[in-house]
Structure 1
Amino acid sequence: MKHLLNLLAAIALLVWGTHLVRTGILRVFGASLRHVLSRSISNRFNATLSGVGVTALVQSSTATALIVSSFVGQGLITLPLALAVMLGADIGTSLMAVVFSFDLSWLSPLFIFAGVVLFISRQSTNVGRIGRILIGLGLMLLALRLVTDSTGVLTSHPAVKALLGTLSSDLLLEITVGAVLAVVSYSSLAIVLLTATLAASNVIPLDVALGLVLGANLGSGLLAVLTTAKSAVEVRQVPLGNLVFKLLGVAMAAPLVGLWLRHVRPYLGDIATTVVLFHLIFNLLVGLVFIGWTQVVARWVEKLLPRPVKGAKAGGRPHHLDSSALATPSLAISCAAREALHQADVVESMLLGMLEVIRKNDLKLAEDLRKMDDTVDELYSAIKYYLTKISREALGEEESRRWTDIISFTINMEQIGDIVERVLIDIEDKKIKPGRSFSEAGMAEICELHQRLIDNLRLSMSVFLNGSVRDAQKLLEEKARFRDLERAYATTHLGRLSDRTMQSMETSSLHIDLISDLKRINSHICSIAYPILDSAGALAPNRLRQSVLLDDVSR
């Protein structure tokens, strides 16, 4: 029992080490890998080569599938090119299996020691994350040696020898077991390495090992399909197409396993080498055979998963919170930012409609605008929940600031939506239903403040998108001007009351509340500038190091 537990622990360590390497590389080089992929995909052959290179580094064809799927979802590359990348990705992960099949156990202590030192000393930096990668590599190499040692002890036991002697090959069962193991472990690479080690230790026969390898390949394709199951159709098409390649490849290779054992096996080295080379050659042949079929398979996939007709989605727009992008934090941050801008677009529509309600006393429009606040709230909740699923420790300093900026931006937009909803209710109760109207001068003041509000909202969206310090400073200057206007218009309104202007007297309460609410909305809009200025070092304890804000304080 002790030796069996040792074997299970070694297998778990191998899977965990693979996870550390994959996530660590994505955290450090995720943005660069996405840049390489997006720049190098000009034709099918370049796409395949880029898939080989990126996946050899990431050590996971599933991770590459998620990155490429997000590209297709954003319309950056076409589906046939994405499928060509995936053919290369499968070759890349099989190349890493060949590398790890060599006896590199002597590197394990060095990698673990160096990795721990780097990780502990610089944990929140890229240096620390590289240390995490080294720890993962060291654990993988250590786990492979532990698997060999544990299986050696187990197979020497008479009972285990008798059990192994009763095993018979059932190719379909082996493929199924290999696929299940790859899905459960979230790594076909780990399962292929484990299979090669077990075969080399005579725990499983060579023909069984080859069946498990075919199953692991199939499982990696199935894993990507399951991971993107809740994503947009465009995102799900890439893993499905890759799974089609794997199904066809396994269907063609399965009957040839016997020929491989009879005619190719004698020319290869040890058993472990035979297993990993079978894995590599399988993926090479699949890539060579199907590189010319990417267009055909893309058409099949589009028939199986047709893209929705434009406007079929809620609001007739794409949703940017792509769950498959969460594996690459920098990409997920970009998705959240795009959705936050859509939230701001909805808020802008509410503000524009609010003035129409005031002018035309349109109760139906007021009701529609108040319903839009529910959309703003739903977007805020969705963005917030999406951001919480991004690992904060996976973010660099700049990405962490961006994470905070997005949260701040969406909170401000949600609060603006709430204020607009309350304003609309007041307009209905105090103006439209009683049949009152603002004076001509009062209406002109409201229109002036409203136009400045819209301009400031659009400027704040630009600040959020581009992070321009100059625009952020301008936004805070507008905050001071807006406050001065609000005070001035409150004074002129009191003057109209002194002159006994009937319309002003009837709408006095609403008028004062309205311009005060517009100022509050403007404050939420302008607060978007603070994180940008703070990051640039342009904020002092008394806010801006600018004369205009010194004037602001003096007023």
Structure 2
Amino acid sequence: MAFPVTLIDLAGAIALLLWGTRMVQTGIQRAFGPGLRAFLGTALRNRVRALLAGIGVTAILQSSTATGLMTAGFAAGGLVDLVPALAVMLGANVGTTLIVQVLSFDVAAFSPVLILVGVLMFRRDSSTPTHDLGRVFIGLGLMLLALHQLLHLMTDYEDTPSLRLLLGAISTTPLLAVLLGAGVTWAVHSSVAVVLLIMSLASKGALPPNAAFALVLGANLGTAINPVLEGAAGNDLGAKRLPVGNLLTRVVGVAVGLALLEPIGRLLVTLEPDNARAVANFHTAFNVIIALVFLPLLTPYAALLKRWLPERVDPADPSRPLYLDAAARETPIVALGAATREALRLVDVLEEMLAGARSAMANGDRRVIAETKRRDDVLDRLNTAIKAYLTSLDPDELGDNENKRLAAILNFAMNLEQAGDVVTRNLLPHASKRLKRGLAFSEAEEAELVAMIDRLSANLKTAASVLMTDDGPTARLLADEKIAFREAESQATVLHVDQMRTGRPEAAQAGALYLDLLSDIKLINSHIVAAAAYPVLERSGELLQSRIANQQPGAPGPA
């Protein structure tokens, strides 16, 4: 009965370790997730800054998956090149090793204190960051408690013949150890927990150093498998470049590490006699070396990935969601990142609709008008899928920051869908009316219409950037664009009145239609501004309730 009891005790300690790790990750994500996401967005300027940002954000979040998904969202939106995105992932892999380094020291005595402090903080108002930080302290305490339990289990049962037989099979075949480490990490979705478990086994001599190092190699491989598999169902090969690129760096590193396992093992054991510390040092050194080797090679490596994985050309069903992963709903910041990536697809569809409207007004092609109208169905279905996904998230798992982010994504999706409705129901019918009636605009009017639609497309890209970064100055620039559209409509109104006075019916009809088109374009821009700029400005207190000058305090605003 000793061995079955040992397995139950071992499984319970591992489960406690996994739960503690999850509490740390979710607590940090709730307390600091949006801020870290904004910081990451501003740091993606060059590969060195991106590498450091990846280390810092992942060291805090303790989830390279969350960091990777945020980065993939920036990359999917075209807001960051593949090179700094890959640099972030190199940094993220280093960042996950830092908590392993801390816990490799004998800090188990702090477990009761951390849990006590965490419970006291957690029992306070659930809407405050104190509640979320309390969750972090409880998770750290549980992790230390689980590691303490694992050490005791290894002390009591390290000589159990059945356990020795199981671990002996792993020890004699490094490749088997790599595959086992990768499989376990893929199953539990946490390389941190797996490496800490390996440290516990190695510290009591249940695993020889080389077998422990091979398992660590497998853990590093397994943590890169999940992002690739989660995106396997998508049609856009370009969106898979980042997870596939990260996985390939892991594969190369594991292959080299496995080939050099014997000399590396001898060196580390000589430098660090404590097996647990040796495992932690190997884990950190592996990721640091990979980062240093691949960082200078990212430009040709990114070009190779782009050649292997081209952008989506013609997906079978463009209205089918690509990034709304059901499994991600367990972690709010990851789920919100997935919804953000899906929302960016609305930008692509609306941009195609604007291009179609521009072509229809220039050439009067009925086929272009029909195709542009069909794209509105894509907007509607994607918007419905995003709303259903976000509303399916457990409200109890969402903090204040997550609720604000969820509202911002919903607002963005609904406004872009409404902008698409304006294109379909107003702008395109007016273009068709011009074609049927044979109305002609002046060269200046034609140029103005084209310029305003091009400006809409530029504002749409800016809105995507604001959604990803929550950048206040950019949001103000986007909001100021309403002035240009309002002035263009005002000037067109004055010209139309002058045309009416000339008494020429053709000129009056063309002027009225021109004014309608400008009004439609202005309304589309209003939805774009409301989609991204207004939520940011409202949170910072920069959005006025009314444009009426000298409004008396307490007086009601406009209806």
TM-score scaled by length of structure 2: 0.68
Q: CA distance change for structure 1 residues 407 and 293 in 2, over 3 Å: closer, same or farther?
A: closer
User: What is the match of residue 496 of structure 1?
Assistant: none
User: What is the match of residue 177 of structure 2?
Assistant: 174
> Is there any run of 5+ residues in structure 1 with no aligned partner, and where?
439-446, 482-517
- After superposition, give the CA deviation of every residue in 1:242-274 in whole Å (9 maximum; x if it has no partner): 333322222222233333444441442322122
Does the CA contact (< 8 Å) of 1:70 and 1:322 recur in 2? no
Query: Which structure has the greater CA radius of gyration?
Result: 1
In structure 2, C-alpha distance between the alignment counterparts of 1:352 and 1:519, rounded to whole Å: 15
273, 276, 282: which one pairs with 1:278?
A: 282
Does the CA contact (< 8 Å) of 1:41 and 1:50 recur in 2? no
203, 206, 209: which one pairs with 1:206?
A: 209
Q: Confirm whether residue 193 of structure 1 aligns to residue 196 of structure 2.
A: yes
Q: CA distance change for structure 1 residues 369 and 124 in 2, over 3 Å: closer, same or farther?
A: farther
In structure 1, C-alpha distance between the alignment counterparts of 2:115 and 2:302, rounded to whole Å: 43
Does the CA contact (< 8 Å) of 1:14 and 1:190 recur in 2? yes
* Deviation (angstroms), 1:403: 3.0
Q: CA distance change for structure 1 residues 79 and 467 in 2, over 3 Å: closer, same or farther?
A: closer
Paired letter, 1:277 = N
Q: Confirm whether residue 298 of structure 1 aligns to residue 299 of structure 2.
A: no
14, 21, 25: which one pairs with 1:18?
A: 21
Q: CA distance change for structure 1 residues 119 and 204 in 2, over 3 Å: closer, same or farther?
A: same
In structure 2, C-alpha distance between the alignment counterparts of 1:170 and 1:405, rounded to whole Å: 55
96, 107, 127: which one pairs with 1:104?
A: 107
Q: How does 1:79-478 map to 2 (within 5 A)?
A: 79-155=82-158, 157=160, 159-160=162-163, 169-229=172-232, 230=234, 232-303=236-307, 305-308=308-311, 312-313=313-314, 327-328=333-334, 335=341, 338-342=344-348, 344-345=350-351, 369-390=369-390, 391=393, 393=398, 395-396=401-402, 398-410=404-416, 412-413=418-419, 416=422, 419=425
> Is there any run of 5+ residues in structure 2 with no aligned partner, and where?
440-444, 467-473, 491-517
Q: CA distance change for structure 1 residues 30 and 13 in 2, over 3 Å: closer, same or farther?
A: farther
In structure 1, C-alpha distance between the alignment counterparts of 2:21 and 2:557, rounded to whole Å: 57
2:46 partner SS: coil
Q: CA distance change for structure 1 residues 50 and 547 in 2, over 3 Å: closer, same or farther?
A: closer
Does the CA contact (< 8 Å) of 1:69 and 1:237 recur in 2? no
Q: CA distance change for structure 1 residues 100 and 34 in 2, over 3 Å: closer, same or farther?
A: farther
Paired letter, 2:223 = S
Paired letter, 1:210 = F
* Deviation (angstroms), 1:467: 7.1
In structure 1, C-alpha distance between the alignment counterparts of 2:259 and 2:85, rounded to whole Å: 29
Percent of matched pairs sharing the same residue:
27
In structure 2, C-alpha distance between the alignment counterparts of 1:333 and 1:218, rounded to whole Å: 27
In structure 1, C-alpha distance between the alignment counterparts of 2:270 and 2:415, rounded to whole Å: 65
Q: How does 1:38-57 map to 2 (within 5 A)?
A: 38-39=42-43, 41-44=45-48, 46-57=49-60
Q: CA distance change for structure 1 residues 124 and 273 in 2, over 3 Å: closer, same or farther?
A: same
2:224 partner SS: helix
Does the CA contact (< 8 Å) of 1:17 and 1:138 recur in 2? yes
In structure 1, C-alpha distance between the alignment counterparts of 2:361 and 2:174, rounded to whole Å: 71
**Bigger shift: 196-205 or 73-82?**
73-82
TM-score scaled by length of structure 1: 0.68
Q: CA distance change for structure 1 residues 144 and 407 in 2, over 3 Å: closer, same or farther?
A: same
* Deviation (angstroms), 1:367: 6.4
**Count of aligned residue pairs for this structure pair:** 508
Q: CA distance change for structure 1 residues 198 and 37 in 2, over 3 Å: closer, same or farther?
A: farther
1:102 partner SS: coil
- After superposition, give the CA deviation of every residue in 1:496-520 in whole Å (9 maximum; x if it has no partner): xxxxxxxxxxxxxxxxxxxxxx999
Paired letter, 1:54 = V
Does the CA contact (< 8 Å) of 1:11 and 1:143 recur in 2? yes
1:121 partner SS: coil
In structure 1, C-alpha distance between the alignment counterparts of 2:293 and 2:358, rounded to whole Å: 57
Does the CA contact (< 8 Å) of 2:185 and 2:223 recur in 1? yes
In structure 2, C-alpha distance between the alignment counterparts of 1:271 and 1:60, rounded to whole Å: 25
**Bigger shift: 34-43 or 189-198?**
34-43
Q: CA distance change for structure 1 residues 323 and 258 in 2, over 3 Å: closer, same or farther?
A: same
Does the CA contact (< 8 Å) of 2:171 and 2:210 recur in 1? no
- RMSD in angstroms over aligned alpha carbons? 5.6
In structure 1, C-alpha distance between the alignment counterparts of 2:266 and 2:479, rounded to whole Å: 73
In structure 2, C-alpha distance between the alignment counterparts of 1:530 and 1:72, rounded to whole Å: 24
Q: CA distance change for structure 1 residues 43 and 121 in 2, over 3 Å: closer, same or farther?
A: same
Paired letter, 1:381 = R
In structure 2, C-alpha distance between the alignment counterparts of 1:553 and 1:56, rounded to whole Å: 48
- After superposition, give the CA deviation of every residue in 1:35-87 in whole Å (9 maximum; x if it has no partner): 2464375354x544443333322223343333344444444444444444433
Q: CA distance change for structure 1 residues 416 and 67 in 2, over 3 Å: closer, same or farther?
A: closer
* Deviation (angstroms), 1:275: 1.6
1:20 partner SS: helix
